[in-house]
């Protein structure tokens, strides 16, 4: 029987500073065969082990269509994440995954796509954004809205610049508090809705960010006329096992680690609030 809890060793190839408290790590598995076979879908996550400190879940933020390595973006908040932030290129960690369900990708081909991301919610959505670019002709209108606390708090500044320059996507950004470098809009991400035109009938909306933001985004999407199953979001809970056994991530009768983290509003709205 396969051992559910044993991680695979993975080595850090690259570390990028995103914001003062956030870094992106590119990793690959030491076992070459395992690395070759490793595949995942947009929205899935991995459990990363820092031996002696513990294990923590992180959304995969790399492009699932590109093999060979994978990326996670980590904000330093506690034991495991601080230890990861001290890591150097070449350091080895344990990784279990991919875990959880995924964003619908093939299923939403032929539709317009609206992405609404807040702060550290952009990383999991990036695993969906990049494959959409790879298969751009399979999708209709493509809009990305991104909100962050301040301009420095935005992750993936290079990629944002690149997306902004493309003519096959509409990227709008906003910050809660501007600084001298910022010439764009100021305000919460939902203020960007009035600047765009979407046809709710033809569009799938994907949103990820702090729970309070998600709540307001969904409210507005519903008001715009989006159907319950055209609104796709992620739920986050404290997780331990990642495989539906430890009980920590349960909401109602759903285990976020295996039934989620991706849910449509149709599924979320019937769950008990807590």
Partner 1 sequence: MKVGQKYTIDKQAFLAVLDSLRKGAKLIGPTPGPDGDVVFREVASVAEFTFDYVNEFDPVKRFLIPHRQDLFRFTLGKRPTFEPLVDSSPQVLCGIRSCDVKGILHWDKFFSGTYLDNYYLEKRANTTIISVACNKPLDTCFCICCDGGPWLEAGFDLQLTDFGDRYLIHVGSKKGIAILEKIKKGLVAATQEDLQRRKELMAKCDSQMVPTAYVAKAIIQITNNRVREELWEEMGFECFSCGGCTHVCPVCTCYDVADYMESPTCGVRLRCWDSCQYSGFTREASGHNPREKTKERIKRRFYHKLSYAYVKLDGHQGCVGCGRCITVCEAIGLLDLPAVVKRLRREGQPEPEQLGAQRHSS
Q: Does 58 bind ligand FAD (CB under 6 A)?
A: yes
- C-alpha neighbours within 13 Å on the C-beta side of residue 160: 20
Q: Which of 36, 39, 66, 79 binds ligand FAD (CB under 6 A)?
A: 79
Residue 219 binds to partner 1 (criterion: CB under 8 A): no
| Position 110 contacts partner 1 (CB under 8 A) | no
Closest CB to partner 1 among residues 195, 269: 269
Q: Establish how many alpha carbons lie within 13 A of residue 193's alpha carbon, considering only the half-sphere containing its beta carbon.
A: 19
Closest approach of ligand FES to the CB of residue 61, in Å: 20
* Closest CB to ligand FAD among residues 25, 265: 25
Told to check if 261 binds ligand FAD by CB under 6 A, we report yes
Q: Is 30 in the site for partner 1 (CB under 8 A)?
A: yes
Closest by Cα among 50, 95, 92, 88 to 70: 95
* Candidate list 112, 153, 236, 259; residue touching ligand FAD; CB under 6 A: 236
The least distance separating partner 1 from the CB of residue 167, rounded to whole angstroms, comes to: 38
Q: Which is nearer to ligand FES, 197 or 253 (CB)?
A: 253
Q: Which positions lie near ligand FES, rule CB under 6 A?
A: 239-242, 244-249, 255, 257
DSSP letters spanning 169-196: SEEEEEESS--TT--S-BS-GGGGGGG-
- Please identify, using beta-carbon distances, which residue of 83 and 169 lies nearer to partner 1: 83
Phi-psi region of 247 (alpha: psi -120 to 50; beta: other; left: phi over 0): left
Give the residue, chosen from 10, 27, 74, 175, that forms a contact with ligand FAD under the rule CB under 6 A.
74
The residue whose Cβ lies closest to ligand FAD is: 78
The answer to whether the CB of 47 falls within 8 A of the CB of 92 is: no
Of the candidate spans 65-73, 136-144, 176-184, 239-247, the one that interacts with partner 1 by CB under 8 A turns out to be 239-247
Question: What single string gives the DSSP state of each residue in 224-270?
Answer: HT--GGGEEEE-----SSSSS-S-TTEETTEEHHHH-SEEEHHHHTT
> Which listed range, 52-60, 144-152, 186-194, 225-233, lies at the site for ligand FAD (CB under 6 A)?
52-60
Q: Which one among 54, 94, 210, 244 touches ligand FAD, defined by CB under 6 A?
A: 54
Number of residues engaging partner 1 in binding (CB under 8 A): 40
Residue 52 within binding range of partner 1, rule CB under 8 A: yes
- The distance of closest approach from Cβ of residue 99 to partner 1 in the complex, given in angstroms and rounded to an integer, is 9
- Positions that interact with ligand FAD (CB under 6 A): 45, 54-59, 72-75, 77-81, 120, 123, 236-237, 239, 261
């Amino acid at each position: 029987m396969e051992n559910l809890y044993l991680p695979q060793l993975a080595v850090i190839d690259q570390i990028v500073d995103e914001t003062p408290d956030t870094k992106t790590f590119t990793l690959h598995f030491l076992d070459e065969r395992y690395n070759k076979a490793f595949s995942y879908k947009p929205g899935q996550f991995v459990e990363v082990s820092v031996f002696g400190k513990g294990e923590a879940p992180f959304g995969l933020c790399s492009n699932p269509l590109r093999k060979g390595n994978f990326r996670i973006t980590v904000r330093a908040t506690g034991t495991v994440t601080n230890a990861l932030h001290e890591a150097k290129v070449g350091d080895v960690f344990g990784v279990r995954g991919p875990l959880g369900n995924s964003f619908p990708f093939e299923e939403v081909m032929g539709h317009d796509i609206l992405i609404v991301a807040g702060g550290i919610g952009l990383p999991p959505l990036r695993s969906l954004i990049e494959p959409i670019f790879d298969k751009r002709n399979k999708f209709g209108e493509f809009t990305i809205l991104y909100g962050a606390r301040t301009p420095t708090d935005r992750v993936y500044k290079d990629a944002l610049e690149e997306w902004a320059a493309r003519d096959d996507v509409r990227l709008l950004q906003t910050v809660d508090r501007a600084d001298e470098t910022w010439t764009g809009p100021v305000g919460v991400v939902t203020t960007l809705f009035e600047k765009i035109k979407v046809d709710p009938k033809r569009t799938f909306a994907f949103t990820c960010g702090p729970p309070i933001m998600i709540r307001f985004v969904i409210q507005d999407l519903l008001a715009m006329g989006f159907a319950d199953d055209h609104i796709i979001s992620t739920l986050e809970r404290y997780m331990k096992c990642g495989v539906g056994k430890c009980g920590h991530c349960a909401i109602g009768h759903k285990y976020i680690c295996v039934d989620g983290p991706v849910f449509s509003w149709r599924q979320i709205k019937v769950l008990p609030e807590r």
